[in-house]
Amino acid sequence: MAPRRYLAGEDLWRCGGIWQAKTCGAAAVSDRKEVPMEAYTGFAEVYDLFMDNVPYEPWSRYIISLLEEHNIPEGLVLDLGCGTGKITRLLSGAGYDMIGVDNSEEMLQQALEQEHENILYLCQDMREFELYGTVAAVVCICDSLNYILEEEELLQVFRLVNNYLDPGGIFIFDLNTLYKYRELLGESTICENRREASFIWENYFVEETGINEYDLTLFIRENSGLYRKYEETHIQRGYELETVIGLIREAGMEFAAVYDAFTREPPRADSERVYVIAREHGKRSGPIT
């Protein structure tokens, strides 16, 4: 079944194959506190290179198993914060009709370079995303929600997800934990050198606010053999699980479960990543009109 094309007309413009809301982009959000939401610029070009150790296929199988457990073996699924579309494509290959939303045009451009005609990519901020209809499920992984730095903005994301889910639809998302930021990243420097590119990651964690910041310096090899230098700052926030569950309920959704990542076990004190499942609540019938 081909995905429904929700977004069209005067609210969108097309750039390089990516449908974009007219309110999307640096000019529309320059007065807000979201430098981290636009961090993937130069990094987008080499993101998949440095993430080649991430087991995306096992991750996708885990997500699919959660969807099936909640009676969603097929249907339309939104990948929120889809990045270069790795998980989006794997879910599409498993038979789901996929929409990918990301705030970074550069990351979406990388996704578009991988041919997959049945995926619709939209350039939108997850705090303001719009669809002209509902979806069976929303997934948001690879700590995309950790880039939301304010509780009220995380609440807004949850409200939008609840709004665009089918009645009884499922929201699956992961989060890096405070333990990971505090104990594993903390005050550290990470470097990696490859022929195509190199990076230096300088990490800082502020216990009082839960804010984790890392300054990323990239050197990307050009065809000439010279290297281009990029500098980016990424800011994330770790949340107490009780806070997240409270915001889920405040947004009108039902909290369903939380697991230590890639298991069916409850989170541990030393869990590095957790998966949270919430269920749509409040719709009687039919899609949003």
**Residues 67 and 120 both lie in one domain:** yes
> Per-residue pLDDT tens for 118-162?
899 999 999 999 998 999 999 999 999 999 999 999 999 999 999
Give which of 125, 140, 201 is closest to 175, Cα–Cα.
140
222 falls within a domain: yes
246 falls within a domain: yes
**Residues 119 and 202 both lie in one domain:** no
Q: Kindly list the strands in the beta sheet with 18-21, ordered across the sheet, starting from the edge strand earlier in the chain.
A: 12-15, 18-21, 120-123, 96-102, 75-80, 135-140, 165-176, 273-279, 254-260
127 falls within a domain: yes
Buried b (16+ CB within 10 A) or exposed e, 25-45: beeebeeeebebbbbbebbbb
**Residues 260 and 144 both lie in one domain:** yes
**Residues 114 and 203 both lie in one domain:** no
pLDDT for residue 5 is more than 80:
no
**Residues 266 and 131 both lie in one domain:** yes
**Residues 199 and 125 both lie in one domain:** no
> Per-residue pLDDT tens for 73-93?
999 999 999 988 999 999 999
Whether pTM > 0.85 for this model: the answer is no
> Among residues of the chain, what percentage have pLDDT more than 70?
79
**Residues 70 and 168 both lie in one domain:** yes
Distance, CA of 108 to CA of 100 (rounded, Å): 9
Q: Which domain holds residue 197?
A: 180-237
**Residues 18 and 131 both lie in one domain:** yes
Averaged confidence pLDDT in the chain: 83
**Residues 187 and 224 both lie in one domain:** yes
Provide the β-strand partners of residue 213.
204, 235
Tally of domains in the chain: 2
The CATH number that applies at residue 66 is 3.40.50.150
**Residues 108 and 223 both lie in one domain:** no
225: three-class secondary structure by DSSP: coil
The CATH number that applies at residue 218 is 2.20.25.110
Which tokens belong to 129?
A: 């995303």
> Per-residue pLDDT tens for 180-198?
999 999 999 999 888 887 8
